[in-house]
Structure 1
Amino acid sequence: MRALSDDIYKQFSDFLEVQCGIVLGENKQYLVKSRLIPLMTQFSIEKLSDLIQQSMSYKNRELRTAVIDAMTTNETLWFRDKYPFELLAKKIYPEILEKKKSIKLWSAASSSGQEAYSIAMTSLEYQKQKAVLGMNVQIIGTDISNTMLEQCKNGTYDTLALSRGLADDRKRLFFNSVNDGSGKMQIKPEVKKLTSFRNFNLLDSYAGLGKFDIIFCRNVLIYFSSDVKSRILNQFAGALNPGGYLILGASESLTGLTDKFDMVRCNPGIVYKLKS
């Protein structure tokens, strides 16, 4: 049975907010069903309500992890919105490189890795175009989903994923074909070596991550309550080096959430710079 009562939905919504900070809101039963019904066969559970109740207990950690994975997995694409990556090359990298050669970036909630690898490709293109010597880029991608992290680390993508925002010349430059007739391609080692990936919940302490020059957290805050957004943004401020940059999604804003950043209008786009 795939029915989902209002009571079970409310319990699950509260559970998801506590575990991940994600706010489902009202009348999103359709989203829960579409994400979790495939798990019923995998875990041999006949009722969706039973699957949800079991996932909220601590008895079946595998199911709990699979449910959180399913609910926190979001679609992504290469070079999303384009302007953040253009700003790296045109504004942010030159500014940082005037002071130091090492640049550390964080791709928060990196999903299946397209953002982190897009940053890596941008970095390699910049180094080649500007003939920059000694530039050291370190990109850390984090996500709450272990399934997504495995995809990130493997760096292999099918034809559908490769068609979303990735130009043919970049495919030739930065990918190798997987010779199994599937059309899949894998990120080249020189791109991979700029990146590392780890499991991380944005609700946890950021102390173990170190300091960053640039943080990407795009199209993620929209899923959180205002209080959680504010907490995350203030933690981002604490994780940035002086003068560091925060890059959000095109529809996201800091208004009323934190006073630790200055908004920098660019052409195109907006970024946020940590106040000195």
Structure 2
Amino acid sequence: MMTELTSSDREFIFSDEHFARIRRFVTVHTGIVLPDIKKNMVYGRLSKHIRKQFNGNFDDFCDAVENGDSEVQDILVNAITTNLTAFFRERHHFDFLSNTVLPELYKKNHLTKRIRIWSAGCSTGEEAYSLAICLYEFFKDKPDWDVRVLATDLDANVLQAAKSGVYDIERLNQLELKEKKMWFKRGTGDRQNLIKVKTDIQTKVAFKRLNLLHQWPMNGPFDVVFCRNVIIYFDKETQAVLFKRFAEIMRPGGYLFIGHSETLFNVNDQFTPLGKTIYQLPS
């Protein structure tokens, strides 16, 4: 049975005021809302940085954040953002993409021969590469088509990992053997427990750092947007703003995929629900 960490159990003093200062910055700059129950999580994720760079002093850390130290602000943002993902997570979304959306876009976009998918909140890249695999499999005999995935995240550390395309082989446990052989290369020697996404798939993905609350430098339009397990960390007002912006940057008839515990109900009415957290803009 787990017990809550108390102030006497902590190595450093982490007061309610420290948590409030951190929470204010995180909400303003990322849109993520940290409830009181996240106080121990925040302490746990930051304590190693406080020990190494601030001699155990949360006051100095909070001062650096509020005084605009970009390096310290990055430490905070990277520590707070949650990065749980997997290849083909919620497989039914990728089945729908391959079996319904891509055939439809193949007919619809036959003049431009262009398809753009956005993985918003891509974490360590598994979702983005899963999307690229779907594109690769559908268009591998259609080389004149320009099909690409934009993958963005707020966390600079996970983006660096994603760009490498290298993962522990255990991350592929849920895939069939033939899928592993088709889409990944296994390391040799002391790297035999690592796999790398094949180049033909990796080159279809562009990874960029992006704060969803800030200005979006890309123009779109996107045919498909995956924004899964991201909005649960935002309040309803922020969610409403984000979904409105998604609608504005998507092509008419475009598809939006969100996480299994998320909903647009009472948040946005621009999209038509298709079931299984899949939505579509009117054409």
So what's the TM-score if we normalise by structure 2?
0.89
More displaced, 206-215 or 249-258?
Answer: 206-215
Distance, in Å, in 1 between the alignment partners of 2:25 and 2:158 is 21
Distance, in Å, in 2 between the alignment partners of 1:49 and 1:166 is 47
Distance, in Å, in 2 between the alignment partners of 1:52 and 1:117 is 36
User: The residue matched to 1:208 in structure 2 has which SS?
Assistant: coil
Question: Could you tell me which residue of structure 1 aligns to residue 215 of structure 2?
Answer: 205
Q: How do 1:35-114 and structure 2 match up within 5 A? A: 35-58=45-68, 60-100=69-109, 101-114=113-126
Of 253, 268, 271, the match for 2:278: 271
Contact 2:132/2:201 (CA < 8 Å) preserved in 1?
yes
Q: How do 1:1-276 and structure 2 match up within 5 A? A: 1-58=11-68, 60-100=69-109, 101-127=113-139, 132=142, 134-163=144-173, 165-182=174-191, 183-206=193-216, 208-265=218-275, 269-276=276-283
More displaced, 229-238 or 11-20?
Answer: 11-20
Structure 1 residue 34 displacement after superposition: 2.0
Structure 1 residue 210 displacement after superposition: 2.2
User: The residue matched to 2:32 in structure 1 has which SS?
Assistant: coil
Deviations 1:133-172 (A, max 9, x none): 6443110000111111111111111234344x33332221
Distance, in Å, in 2 between the alignment partners of 1:134 and 1:150 is 30
Over 3 Å counting, the alpha-carbon distance change for 1:67 and 1:103 in structure 2 is same
Q: Which amino acid aligns with 1:65?
A: D
Distance, in Å, in 2 between the alignment partners of 1:236 and 1:201 is 14
Amino-acid identity (%): 31
Distance, in Å, in 1 between the alignment partners of 2:48 and 2:189 is 27
Structure 1 residue 49 displacement after superposition: 4.4
Contact 1:157/1:184 (CA < 8 Å) preserved in 2?
yes
Contact 1:143/1:201 (CA < 8 Å) preserved in 2?
yes
So what's the TM-score if we normalise by structure 1?
0.91
User: The residue matched to 1:246 in structure 2 has which SS?
Assistant: strand
Deviations 1:10-33 (A, max 9, x none): 121111000100001122111101
Contact 1:69/1:147 (CA < 8 Å) preserved in 2?
yes
Structure 1 residue 89 displacement after superposition: 1.0
Equivalent pairs, count: 269
Aligned Cα RMSD in Å? 1.8
User: The residue matched to 2:256 in structure 1 has which SS?
Assistant: strand
Contact 2:116/2:223 (CA < 8 Å) preserved in 1?
yes
Deviations 1:180-233 (A, max 9, x none): 513111111101111101011110123534210000000000000110000000
User: The residue matched to 1:38 in structure 2 has which SS?
Assistant: helix
Distance, in Å, in 1 between the alignment partners of 2:199 and 2:178 is 17
Over 3 Å counting, the alpha-carbon distance change for 1:57 and 1:214 in structure 2 is same
Contact 1:218/1:249 (CA < 8 Å) preserved in 2?
yes
User: The residue matched to 1:259 in structure 2 has which SS?
Assistant: coil
Over 3 Å counting, the alpha-carbon distance change for 1:44 and 1:161 in structure 2 is farther
